[in-house]
Structure 1
Amino acid sequence: MFVYWISIFTSNARYFTVVLTFDQRNEARIQRLIDKQEAERQREQDLNISRELREVDKEIAEQRRVNDELNAEKARNMSLEQRKHELEIEQARYDTLQEQRREDVLIAVQRHEQDKELARLLRENDRILAEQKQETEMVLEQQRYDQERARYLDPLLLSHIKELGQLVKENNGSLIANPTIHALVRAKTLNIFRPIGPDRSTQLILFLHETRLLKTEENPLDLSGVQLTGIYLSASTIQRPIYKLSLSSARLNNASFVGCDLSYCDFTGADLSGANLSRCS
C-alpha cells in the first residue's frame, strides 16, 4: 500500500514539475518583457529628466552668469569707491603724520634750544659760583692774611710808638739835642714804614707830628724816599690840624689831604702823583 502511494506521488510530482517549469518560463519571459518595457520607460523618463535638468542648469548658469556680471560690476564700482575712500584715509593719515613730524621737529628744536640755554645758564651759574667761591676764598684768605699781618704789625707799630714816646720823654720832649738818638729814631722809623701799610703809616705820621718829630720848625726827621703811598690824612678822618707837617722828598702817591689846613707844610721834593689836595687851605 505504501509502495503504491509513493509511485503515484512520484508520477504526479513529475507532472507537476513539468507544468511548473513551463509556467515559470512563461512568467520569466513576461517579466523580462515587463522589465524591458519598464526599463525603456525609465530610460525615456531619465532622458526627459536629463534634458529638463540640462535646460534648468543652462537657465541657472545663465542666471548665475548674469548675477556674476552684476556682482562683478557692483564689486568694481564698490572697489573704486572703497579704494577712493581708502586713499582719502591714507592721505589723511599721511597728512596727520606729516603734521605730527613737523610738531615733533619743532618740539625737538625748541627742546634743543632750551637744553642749550639751560646748559649755558648752568655753565654761567657754575662760573659765577666758582668766581664767588674764589672771591670768597680770596676774601677769607685776605682776611686771614690781614689778621695774621695785624697780629704782627699792630704790636710792631705799638712797640715803636712806645719806644719813641719813651725816648721823647727821656729827652725832655725833644730828640734834636742828641744826634745819635735822632739818627737811630730816623733809621727805625724808615724801617718800620716799609711793612705796615697806609693805615698804620697814617697813625705813625700823626704820632710823629704830635711829638714834634715831623714839624717844619723842629728839625724834623728826614723821610726822603720813604713809601707813604695811600696815606689818608683828610680832615674828616683825622679831625686834627696838621699844619707845619714836614714830608719833604717823601713818596706820597695817591695820598689824601682833602680839606686839610696845609699851612706851612713842607712837601718840597715830595712825589704827589695822584694825591688828592681838594679843599685844602
Structure 2
Amino acid sequence: MLSHQIFGFKCKDILKFISYLLLPIILGVFALVITLQQQQLLKQQHEEDREISALQREQDKFFNDQKYQNELLDTYINDMITLLKESNGSLTSNEITATIARIKTLDIFRQLDAQRNARIIRVLHDAKQLTETQEHSALDLSTAKLCDIDFRHMAINEKQLHELFLMGVFLSNASFINMDMKFVSFAKTAFDKADFSGISTDLSDTKTLYANFQKASCIAARFNRSMLSYSNFWRSNLKHASFHSADLTNAIFTDANLYGAQFQYARITDMQLQSTLSIQDAILPNGTRAEDRNLINNGHADCTISPVDNWALLTGNVITAMSSTNDTNCQFMLQTFAMGATVMQRVNLSFKWDPNTWPHSQAVLSANMGSNVFIQLRGINEIGHIHSQQKLNSTQRFISLVLNRDMHQLEVIIGFEALVKNSSKSNSWCDDIKLFIVYGTDLEFIQDTSTTTSMITAVLPAYKLFTVFNVFNDMIFNPDDATTVENIGRKLSAAINLGFQCLNDVSKPQCSLSSQRKWHTIFDYNITIISPIVLISSHTDNPRRYMVSYTVMDISKNALLPGTQVIMAIDKVPNDQKLILFGFTIVNNTFVQSPFNSSFTVFTTTSPKTDKLWIILIFLELMALFLFFIGLYFCLYCKFRKRENDKPIA
C-alpha cells in the first residue's frame, strides 16, 4: 500500500489539520455573526427608546403649551369681565378703557391659536363689544391678524351671526360657509390667502344681508351661492373673486375692482357692473368675458368719420379704409407710403388712476397691426418728460407699462414706417387699439412676492397640473411679466373649459377637427397659476420650452379637479382648436400633464454602516463555506487515491 503524500505531508495528517482548524473557524464566524446581530438589535432598540423619549417630550411640551394658552385665555376673559364691570358694560365708554382693552386683545391674538382666538371674538361679540349701537361703538381691533378663523363656531347653531363689526382686520383663510349674517361690517378688512394653496376666504353658501365690505381687500375670495343683497363693496379690491350663483340684488359695487371676477349665473344688473372701477376679464352671468371702457378714443377705426378724430397727426397722412381681406373691417392705413406717418393721443390719468389707493398698477395696450407699423406707450410726467416707455409691434399681442405716481399722462404714438423697395403696402395698417389699467394694491403685491414659491408645494400632487409649450425666437415672451402670466391663464382657461364642454357634448361644432374658428366658450372652470412660468430648456434653443403649473377648480362645486379628469376633458379638443385657443405649440402634443401621468421610481437608501456590516458577514460566511469545501475535496480525493493504491499488482 502506498501512502499518498501532498507536499511531503500525508493526506491523513492534512485532513486532521483541516478538521481541527475548520470547526473553530465556523464557530468563530457564527459567534461573530450573532454578536453583530445583537449589537444591531441593541442599536435599533436604543433608537426606538430615543424616539419614544422624543415623542414623550413633544407630548409634554404640547400639553404644557395647551395649559399655558388656557391660562392666558382665562386671564384675558377675567380681565375683560373686570373692565366691563368698571365701565358699566362698555369697553369703549371712555378712551382709557378702550385703549387698555384694545392692547390686551391685540396682544392675546398674537399668543393664542386660531381656536382660542375664535373664542375671544365670540366672547366679545356675545358681550356686544363688537357691535355698533347708538349707546357705544365697537371695540377697535384694526391691524389684528387672524388666521384660520371659522366663524361658524361663534354663530347661533353655527348658522346665524348678526351685527358683527370687524374693521381693518386681516382675516386669513376665514370661513363663513352656510351662514346667515345681517348687518355685519368688514370695512377695510383684508381677506388674505392663508395657506398658499389657492384656498382663500370662503363665504360660499352664505346669507349676508346689509354686509359692509367698504375698501375691503377680498382678492380671490369666494362668495359662491351667497345671498349678498344690499351689501356694500364700495372701493373694494375684488380681483379674481368668485360670485358664482350669488344673489347680489341691490349690492353696491361703486369704484370696486372686479378684474377677473367670476359672475356665472349670479344675480347682478348691468348698472351695478357699470359703476365699478374695473370689470376687465370678468366672466359675466351669461358666460361672456367683460372688457373695460377703452381709454383710447377712436381706437377702433370707423370709416364714417375722420381718421384723425381724437388723434394728433404729427407727420405724413393717415386714412381709414376697408381691409383688403375683409370688406366689413375698417382699418387705419398709411396714405403717403414714401414718407410714412405718425399719430399721437394722450390719456390723462388724473380721473382714471389714484396712486394712493392703487399704487401697484399697470397700463396694458393691445392692437392689431401690419409688420410696417409699431405703437409706443409712454408714461409722461408733470413737466412733459418721458418717465418710461414700451413698444408694441406686429409679433406681440400686448404690452404693459408699470404706472408710477410721477406719471400724469399716458402717450400712445402710432408709427407707420415709410415703405422701401419691395415692401408690401398691405402691411401698413392697424386697428383695434385698446388701452386699459390693471389696478393693484400694496397688499396683493406683498402676497404675490411672498407666496409664489410656497404655492408650488402647498397643492397636493393629484391636483397639480402643468403644460409645456414652445416659444420661438421671433416671439416676444416675458414669463416674469404679470400681464403675460394672466394671459397664459386666460388661454389655458379657454382651452380647458372647451374640453369639458366637448366632454359633455362631443357634437358641438368646436369639438370637430374640421372647425378652425375660435368659438365662444362658457367658463365653468377656473384656472389658477400656482408658480412662476419656468424655462426648462436652454435660453439659446429655438424654440425655447417653458412650463406653467396650475390648478383647475370646478366653480359650481367649489372644488379642485384631479389631473385625470382634466386630461380626459382636454383630450376631447382637437389639436387645431388647442392651438387656436392657447396660441403656442405644445411639446409632444400633450396639453395637460400631471405628476401621476408617468411612472415614478422609489429609491430607498440604507445606512453606510449597515451596508458595511452585512458585507463583512457575507465575506466571513463565504470564507467558512470555502474552507468547508476544501476539506471535503481533500477528504474525497484521499479516499479515492487510497482505493487505487489498494488494488493488487498483477
Length-normalised TM-score, structure 2: 0.25
Supply the distance in 2 between the matched residues of 1:98 and 1:234 (Cα, whole angstroms).
85
Match of residue 5 from structure 1:
none
Supply the distance in 1 between the matched residues of 2:38 and 2:186 (Cα, whole angstroms).
63
Residue 138 (str. 1) matches residue 58 (str. 2):
yes
Match of 1:228 among 123, 146, 162: 146
Supply the distance in 2 between the matched residues of 1:138 and 1:212 (Cα, whole angstroms).
39
Higher helix residue share: 1
Supply the distance in 1 between the matched residues of 2:38 and 2:201 (Cα, whole angstroms).
49
Deviation track 1:245-273 (CA, whole Å, cap 9, x = no partner) reads: 444443444x5527451745627224341
Match of residue 271 from structure 1:
192
Deviation at 1:280, TM superposition (A): 5.2
Supply the distance in 1 between the matched residues of 2:40 and 2:142 (Cα, whole angstroms).
56
Deviation track 1:107-151 (CA, whole Å, cap 9, x = no partner) reads: 544543443333223212212211211321332244345435534
CA distance 1:276–1:92, shift in 2 (3 Å): farther
Residue 112 (str. 1) matches residue 46 (str. 2):
no
CA distance 1:107–1:155, shift in 2 (3 Å): same
Residue 127 (str. 1) matches residue 127 (str. 2):
no
Higher strand residue share: 2
Q: Supply the AA of the counterpart residue of 1:201.
A: N
Supply the distance in 2 between the matched residues of 1:276 and 1:120 (Cα, whole angstroms).
52
Deviation track 1:211-263 (CA, whole Å, cap 9, x = no partner) reads: 3333478853332222333444455998433355444443444x552745174
Q: Supply the AA of the counterpart residue of 1:129.
A: D
Match of residue 50 from structure 1:
none
Deviation at 1:204, TM superposition (A): 0.9
Contact 2:109–2:144 (8 Å) recurs in 1: yes
Aligned residue pairs total 194
CA distance 1:176–1:105, shift in 2 (3 Å): same
Alignment of 1:1-281 (within 5 A): 81=1, 84=3, 91-92=11-12, 94-95=14-15, 98=18, 101=21, 105=25, 108-148=28-68, 150-151=70-71, 153-163=72-82, 165-166=84-85, 170-171=88-89, 181-215=97-131, 219-235=137-153, 239-240=157-158, 241-243=160-162, 245-253=164-172, 255=173, 257=175, 259-261=177-179, 263=181, 264=184, 266=186, 268-274=189-195, 277=202, 281=206
Root-mean-square deviation (CA, aligned residues, Å) is 4.2
Deviation at 1:276, TM superposition (A): 6.8
CA distance 1:252–1:116, shift in 2 (3 Å): farther
CA distance 1:129–1:104, shift in 2 (3 Å): same
CA distance 1:129–1:251, shift in 2 (3 Å): farther
CA distance 1:176–1:162, shift in 2 (3 Å): closer
Contact 1:193–1:226 (8 Å) recurs in 2: yes
Contact 2:148–2:175 (8 Å) recurs in 1: no
Q: Which runs of 5+ in 1 are unaligned?
A: 1-80
Q: Supply the AA of the counterpart residue of 2:50.
A: A
Supply the distance in 2 between the matched residues of 1:279 and 1:111 (Cα, whole angstroms).
70
Supply the distance in 1 between the matched residues of 2:179 and 2:70 (Cα, whole angstroms).
31
Deviation track 1:54-73 (CA, whole Å, cap 9, x = no partner) reads: xxxxxxxxxxxxxxxxxxxx
Deviation at 1:93, TM superposition (A): 5.8
CA distance 1:220–1:154, shift in 2 (3 Å): closer
Q: Which runs of 5+ in 2 are unaligned?
A: 207-650
Match of residue 391 from structure 2:
none
Deviation track 1:12-71 (CA, whole Å, cap 9, x = no partner) reads: xxxxxxxxxxxxxxxxxxxxxxxxxxxxxxxxxxxxxxxxxxxxxxxxxxxxxxxxxxxx
Q: Supply the AA of the counterpart residue of 1:210.
A: D
Secondary structure at the residue paired with 1:242? strand
Contact 1:176–1:182 (8 Å) recurs in 2: yes
Percent identity, aligned pairs only, is 18
Contact 1:235–1:258 (8 Å) recurs in 2: no
Q: Supply the AA of the counterpart residue of 1:117.
A: Q
Secondary structure at the residue paired with 1:207? helix
Supply the distance in 2 between the matched residues of 1:196 and 1:225 (Cα, whole angstroms).
16
Deviation track 1:193-215 (CA, whole Å, cap 9, x = no partner) reads: 33344333221111122233334
